[in-house]
Amino acid sequence: MAEQKKMVEAITPMDQDFAQWYTDIVKKAELCDYSGVRGCMVIEPYGYAIWENIRDILDKKFKELGHENVSMPMFIPESLLQKEKDHVEGFAPEVAWVTMGGGEKLSERLCVRPTSETLFCDHYARVIHSWRDLPKLYNQWCSVVRWEKTTRPFLRSVEFHWQEGHTMHETAEEARAETEQMLNVYADFCEQQLAIPVIRGRKTDKEKFAGAEATYTIEALMHDGKALQSGTSHYFGDGFARAFGIQFTDRENKLSYPHQTSWGMSTRIIGGIIMTHGDDNGLVLPPAIAPIQVMVIPVAMHKEGVLEKSREVLARLQKFCRAKTDESEQSPGWKFAQYEMKGVPLRLEIGPKDIEKNQCVLVRRDNREKIFVSLDELETRVPELLKAVHDGMYEKALARREQMTYTAVSFEEMKQIADEKPGFIKAMWCGDLACEEKIKEEAGLSSRCMPFEQEHLDGHCVCCGKEAKAMVYWGKAY
């Protein structure tokens, strides 16, 4: 009991200090450990298993849509990085440079990839010659490095894992369709697997990716009312293709430049899961990516028949879900708290009295509801309850986002909401950079996206009063 208490007390309540609550969960749920390397994480087994589940679901989807995995070098020679002007300006300030190799100074320094457009283009220039070589639908799973000054586990680290898709197409239409398709893959993944509702939309020019013609994003709202950019998809037009001299003979036998996309989702999303679903008892994991979906806890496990029954139940569960048990000498209470902390979606308790009644107790992590289930119905009830946990988590997150989304039609109103109420603010915008910068400066809000689902709140820009071109979601962001 002492240990259980200690563990529960060890998490700082969310309302008291959100940042500390986050750090406590990362540490206590054993997701990652700070490393001896500034700004780099050690992702521990439980955290990495979450990433593997995310990877496996996305990878399967990518492959179903015709994408193939490849591996590009982790280094980019300086001259290659410099080929596309906007891109190098965006990334050069935050890269790590290798200047020595094998005991000698390198004649050209190499940066550790912050993203791999340049490497893919270098390869595409060698392998794309004819329209028959298109489309190229490549993806890679890897880690990249951006020299961030202040870092936080998962949310912002010097090295992080991600996947980066890089595709080349015959036509602009096809490339635009790919950009949109992949944004929808991310959005559906967030909503259907991670139970995170997202806003789908387009970034303003100020916020778009360095070198892109258009950047699309999905934005999620965290517990504390800050936004998290959770996945992006970029349309490049033929800008990189021209810079890298990638040309193909088209169907009319003319030389053309292909049209390009890239899209990525990273370990950052694990930070999003923590901050969307977690509570003061710890992590709450969406069933689809939880390393353990059901934790079997034998109660009074030294009583005759309990361990046997609990193992029998475990074996049945393992046929259709990720289930584990804890037969350690810790008290059931300690175990309950421990696996709540780790966010396991369902706890299955089984003790002598349950066995007498041929039942077990299932406890949902999301709302702590206790459900008595006949042991004859495990195979149907457990999947139903996992789905119920997912749905409950999604609905709760969606309700919170709706509660925390405000509308402003004047700049005064906007500033007041920004001061007093964390969350999204919907407001009209004229499209001018000047207004976007003024809103950033005076209200502390960045434009999160111009949502695909536009609403007509008003005819005028919230900032300058000129004719409005789009409704924008504004917010403070991670």
**DSSP states of 441-470 as a string?**
HHH--EEEEEESS-----SB-TTT-SB--E
Minimum CB distance to its own copies smaller for 57 or for 398: 57
CB atoms within 10 A of CB 247: 17
Question: Coil, helix or strand for 359?
Answer: strand
Q: Is residue 143 a contact residue for its own copies (CB under 8 A)?
A: yes
Instruction: Give the integer Cα–Cα distance in Å for 225 and 218.
Output: 16
Instruction: Give the integer Cα–Cα distance in Å for 12 and 24.
Output: 7
Q: Is residue 97 a contact residue for its own copies (CB under 8 A)?
A: yes
Q: Is residue 162 a contact residue for its own copies (CB under 8 A)?
A: no
Looking up tokens 């390393």 gives 291
Residue ranges with strand state E in 326-444: 346-350, 359-364, 370-374, 405-407, 424-429
Choice from 1, 16, 64, 103 touching its own copies (CB under 8 A) = 103
Choice from 2, 9, 64, 99 touching its own copies (CB under 8 A) = 99
Q: Is residue 150 a contact residue for its own copies (CB under 8 A)?
A: no
Q: Is residue 314 a contact residue for its own copies (CB under 8 A)?
A: no
Asked whether the beta carbons of 246 and 128 are under 8 A apart, the reply is yes
Q: Is residue 159 a contact residue for its own copies (CB under 8 A)?
A: yes
- Interaction mask 26-65, its own copies, x per CB under 8 A: -------x-xxx--xxxxxx--xx-xx-------------
Instruction: Mention every residue, 6+ apart, whose C-beta is less than 8 A from residue 167.
Output: 67, 135, 136, 137, 138, 175, 178, 260, 261, 262
Minimum distance of its own copies from residue 256's CB (angstroms): 22
Q: Cα dist. 21→105, 126, 150, 283, 384 in Å?
A: 45, 50, 18, 10, 31
Q: Is residue 72 a contact residue for its own copies (CB under 8 A)?
A: yes
Q: Is residue 265 a contact residue for its own copies (CB under 8 A)?
A: no
Question: Coil, helix or strand for 233?
Answer: strand
Minimum CB distance to its own copies smaller for 147 or for 452: 147
Q: Is residue 19 a contact residue for its own copies (CB under 8 A)?
A: no
Minimum CB distance to its own copies smaller for 72 or for 227: 72
Q: Is residue 300 a contact residue for its own copies (CB under 8 A)?
A: no
Choice from 77, 333, 352, 383 touching its own copies (CB under 8 A) = 77
Residues that bind its own copies (CB under 8 A): 33, 35-37, 40-45, 48-49, 51-52, 68-77, 80, 93-103, 109-110, 112, 119, 122-123, 126-127, 138, 142-143, 145, 147-149, 158-159, 161
